[in-house]
Amino acid sequence: MSGKTLYDKIWDAHVVQQDEDGTCLLYIDRHLVHEVTSPQAFEGLRMAGRKVRAPQRTIAVPDHNVSTTPGRNEGVEKNEESRIQLAALDKNAKDFELVYYPVDDIRQGIVHIIGPEQGWTLPGMTVVCGDSHTATHGAFGALAHGIGTSEVEHVLATQTLIQSKSKNMKVEITGKLAPGVTGKDVTLAVIAHTGTGGGTGHVIEYCGEAIRSLSMEGRMTVCNMAIEGGARAGLIAPDETTFEYVKGRPHSPKGAQFEAALAWWKTLYSDDDAHWDKVVTIRGEDIAPLVTWGTSPEDVLPITGTVPAPEDFTGGKVEAVKRSLQYMGLEAGTPLTEIEIDTVFIGSCTNGRIEDLRAAAEVLKGRKIKDGIRAMVVPGSGLVRAQAEEEGIAQIFIDAGFEWRMAGCSMCLAMNPDQLAPGERCAATSNRNFEGRQGKGGRTHLVSPAMAAAAAVTGHLTDVRELMQEPVSA
């Protein structure tokens, strides 16, 4: 019998019951809840007279729909529908006695940033949320995935999910990453390799020297976009970097319990003889800073490339590329570095952590954004914001000409007023470049935080490595 993968081990530790056909009832250790995908689930509970089974494992925070304008706690929210949805979460969190970080709490932030920050996310756990980017938590070696609202209701009522097991996929990034290449470029490189459907039906485990060398922040960025590769979840086996990050967080175990937990966490890795249904290997040295040109995350190329033509593709993709080039207002053959932008967005659950802000500030230090560019940085949580202010990073952004915002999802999905106007073009550190994602008619180019900062300075998509070599005239 072959050994087990990390996914197999976490799965086995959470099976409550298995049916003859293989369908399992899986126990859920942490359930994260936000305002957009939960109201109908709580309504369902009320209608059936049901309670939340484990309120102490259920963490609620408003993020998608909150204003990120400073002064928001003094009632700048003008949209009535948003107000009602936020009020519904507030009421549900209080009525059902959930763990709750309201909008005026400094610990409020994007659900996938505050889970790890507060120590709710731990290795070997199962974590779900009504949000596809729940995959982020896989960076800790936790099995974490997005669910729909009906499943949110199911977890609220039973603390379990009915699941069939996915297949095992190994993505190995060998060697070392070049300077200027980040977790964002790694995760985009994987999608470029496999396509947006490449991970469908699988749970991906990312491994290899290049992954090991990443900080927890970088690993979270990699796992965050597992969903853009179609995978159910992304995982990275926990190691000393993980244990160091987890230790001392408000809700991580303490003292003897930490030692006991650590002993179990150290068993969470894929055995050498484990079976993989699919294996992808990418050389870390081959990854350049990447940028998307189209309207699917798989439409991605090194910044040194040129916009492709529909004829470069086959099958249904030919029509899709025609459509996306028209939507993006791009001509085939244009060098990517000649694409001018008018907006820069730094933030989101993909790249809204302190390390992301540091990387962007490194590029911006002593520089100004180009005239006419609208640039905003939206920290992933109130605590990230506070830390950035303490480190002097906030001031670098402000001096460069960025807007310094409050925590939330903001222009990643543009549910709040942070939106692109039709035809506006944005270098964004978020995760999706779909049509209309950042505002109707808006055009999105996905990049790393350092690349976004570089674009803000020059006014066009830019190879950040050039600015890294250039002395700053302060």
Rule CB under 8 A: which of 223-242 touch other proteins? 230, 232
CB of 412 to other proteins, least distance (A): 10
- One residue of 33, 103, 114, 125 binding other proteins per CB under 8 A: 125
**Phi, psi for 202 (deg, rounded to 5):** -120, 155
Segment contacting other proteins by CB under 8 A, of 41-49, 69-77, 98-106, 175-183: 41-49
Which of the stretches 34-42, 96-104, 173-181, 270-278 binds other proteins when contact is defined by CB under 8 A?
A: 34-42
What's at 409, amino acid-wise? C
Tokens 């180009």 — which residue? 370
122 binds other proteins (CB under 8 A): yes
Does position 243 interact with other proteins (CB under 8 A)? The reply is no
**Using the rule CB under 8 A, is 271 a contact of other proteins?**
no
Give the burial string for 281-292 (b: 16+ CB within 10 Å, else e): ebebeebbbbbb
- Position 40 contacts other proteins (CB under 8 A): yes
Distance CA 369, CA 372 (A): 9
Contact set for other proteins, span 57-96 (CB under 8 A) = 64-65, 79, 81-82, 84-85, 88
Of 111, 145, 141, 147, the closest CA to residue 125 belongs to 141
Give dist(CA 416, CA 413) in Å, integer: 8
Terminal Cα-to-Cα distance of the chain (whole angstroms) = 64
Indicate whether 413 belongs to the interface with other proteins (CB under 8 A): yes
Minimal distance, residue 384 CB to other proteins, in Å: 23
- Is residue 440 near other proteins by the rule CB under 8 A? yes
Q: Hey, which residues between 190 and 229 contact other proteins (CB under 8 A)? A: 196-197, 200-201
Say if residues 30 and 115 touch (Cβ distance below 8 Å). Answer: yes
Q: What is the amino acid identity at position 32?
A: L
Residue 148 engages other proteins in binding (rule: CB under 8 A): yes
Asked if 158 touches other proteins (CB under 8 A), the answer is yes
Report the site for other proteins in 350-369 (rule: CB under 8 A). Answer: none
CB of residue 43 to other proteins, shortest distance in Å: 7
**DSSP code at position 231:** -
Out of 2, 150, 267, 281, the only residue in the binding site for other proteins (CB under 8 A) is 150
Cβ neighbours, 10 Å, residue 473:
6
Phi and psi (nearest 5°) for 376?
-135, 145
Asked if residue 187 binds other proteins (CB under 8 A), the reply is no
